[in-house]
Amino acid sequence: MAEFNKVVIFGVGLIGGSFALGLRAAGAVEEVVGFGRSPKSLQQALDLGVIDRAGINPAHELSDADLVLLATPVGQMPEIMARIVPYLGPETVVTDGGSTKGDVVAAARAAFGERIGQFVPAHPIAGAENSGAAAARADLYRERKVVLTPLPENSVLNVAKVRSAWEWCGAQIYELTPAEHDRVFAAVSHLPHLLSFALVHDLAVRENKELFFTFAASGFRDFTRIAASHPEMWRDICLANKDALLLELDSYRAQLDELHQALAAGDGRRLEEIFDTARTARRDWAEGKR
Ligand SMILES: NC(=O)C1=CN([C@@H]2O[C@H](COP(=O)(O)OP(=O)(O)OC[C@H]3O[C@@H](n4cnc5c(N)ncnc54)[C@H](O)[C@@H]3O)[C@@H](O)[C@H]2O)C=CC1
Ligand SMILES: O=C(O)C(=O)Cc1ccc(O)cc1
């Protein structure tokens, strides 16, 4: 018998859909029910076999659910939480796949109240610039990291349930506090996306942009792949993690100022020092030395 009899997913896109496919491929779930914002995206998830059924009324689906995953843009989560909490069964565990954790935890505390122990926050560190159920893959989480940011109110059993679900999908589990999580991901994920959007935007609004895009090569492609990511999702992430992201933006701006000065002064030695430190760090990281 599968570990999870019924899993309910709100937002059956890349993250929610891949969770469903991963659990099913592992034989870990009997039935997956999806809720969506648009009938079209839910129908697509059904047609692709990502979910077994499209849910209509949360009141009918949640009391016997083992696990609920919220996989919508983080800005949608407060309202969904408020909508579902009254119908959760006593054993139902709710988790999420949102890219930020401080805001999600605050929303969960407001919506779950005394039942906050039933919410175990999580963030899969796997994804792509593509979105929607059509981009979902059973192996998206294989050998990828998932960060849990458990709450003091979570029981060992509830955390274990969420951990187990991600492990069935092939993921390696890490734990951070929500604040640690948001600081780290502001630097290594949210800032790079902001910079990539900024670079492409700067060119895209120029009258002669075609001239530039015609000659952009693989370096541009590497730097800007993530500027093809979902605008609503990234709007929500940036706003949700505003404080940590602004700090990282300040730090990056100071780095740009230093490069600007070195360049203006023709200080090749300083430029090379900075490039060398960066190259070593990037190579060590890519080779898994850190
Ligand atoms: N795309 C990525 O690489 C990663 C995304 N995440 C997080 O996962 C979450 C989902 O992202 P993706 O799957 O990439 O987005 P997506 O756009 O592929 O899927 C989101 C789905 O949620 C649905 N949705 C939106 N509002 C809804 C609502 N109020 N009720 C029900 N369904 C609703 C959309 O119709 C869509 O099907 C976001 O919170 C994002 O920050 C986390 C890790 C990686
Ligand atoms: O497209 C990429 O490379 C990503 O960086 C995917 C990604 C996006 C958001 C997350 O919270 C985690 C991973």
Mean pLDDT of 53-64: 96
The torsion region of residue 136 among left (phi > 0), alpha (psi -120 to 50) and beta comes to beta
189 lines ligand 1 (CB under 6 A): no
Kindly report the CATH class assigned to 4-176.
alpha beta
Report which of 16, 24, 258 is spatially closest to residue 131, judged by C-alpha positions: 16
14 lines ligand 1 (CB under 6 A): yes
Neighbours of 192 (CB within 10 A): 14
Tell the residue nearest (CA) to atom 22 of ligand 1. 11
Q: What is the reported pLDDT for 145? A: 98
- Which structure tokens are listed for 21? 């496919």
The string of DSSP codes covering 46-58 is HHTTS-SEE-S-H
Domains 4-176 and 180-286 share a fold: no
Q: Which atom of ligand 2 is nearest to the CA of 226?
A: 1
Q: Which atom of ligand 1 is nearest to the CA of 128?
A: 3
Instruction: Provide the strand spans (E) within 84-194.
Output: 93-96, 119-120, 122-125, 145-148, 172-175
Cβ burial 73-104 (10 Å sphere, 16+ → b, else e): bbbbbbebbeebbeebeeebbbbbbbbbbbbb
Quickly state the pLDDT bin for 138 (edges 50, 70, 90): very high
Mean pLDDT of 120-144: 96
- Which structure tokens are listed for 89? 């069964």
For residue 63, the CA-to-ligand 1 centroid distance in Å is: 24
Q: Sheet of 53-54: strands edge to edge?
A: 53-54, 29-35, 4-10, 67-70, 93-96, 119-120
Task: Locate all alpha helices (DSSP H) within 85-155, ordered by sequence.
Answer: 102-112
Ligand 1 pocket mutation pick from 12, 15, 74, 149 by most atoms within 8 angstroms of CB: 15
Q: What is the pLDDT of residues 85-119, one digit of tens each?
A: 999 999 999 999 999 999 999 999 999 999 999 99
Ligand 1 pocket mutation pick from 233, 234, 235, 239 by most atoms within 8 angstroms of CB: 233
**CATH code for the structural domain at 180-286:** 1.10.3660.10
- How far is it, in rounded angstroms, from Cα 142 to Cα 168? 9
- Which structure tokens are listed for 274? 């900075």
Q: Which atom of ligand 2 is nearest to the CA of 229?
A: 1
Mean pLDDT of 150-168: 98
Of the chain, the percentage scoring pLDDT greater than 90 comes to 98
Ligand 1 pocket mutation pick from 33, 72, 95 by most atoms within 8 angstroms of CB: 72
Residue type, 237: I
What's the whole-number average pLDDT of the chain? 97
Mean pLDDT of 212-220: 98
Q: What is the reported pLDDT for 289? A: 79
Q: What is the reported pLDDT for 182? A: 98
ipTM value, please give it: 0.99
pTM of this prediction? 0.97
Mean pLDDT of 230-241: 98
- Which structure tokens are listed for 280? 């070593």
Q: What is the pLDDT of residues 260-272, one digit of tens each?
A: 999 999 999 999 9
Helix (H) or strand (E) holding 33: strand 29-35
Of the chain, the percentage scoring pLDDT greater than 70 comes to 100
Residue 71 pLDDT greater than 80, yes or no: yes
Residue 290 pLDDT greater than 90, yes or no: no
Domain boundaries, the chain: 4-176, 180-286
Residue 183 pLDDT greater than 70, yes or no: yes
Q: What is the reported pLDDT for 1? A: 87
For residue 268, the CA-to-ligand 2 centroid distance in Å is: 34
List, chain by chain if needed, residues with CB within 6 Å of any ligand 2 atom.
99, 125, 127-129, 189, 226
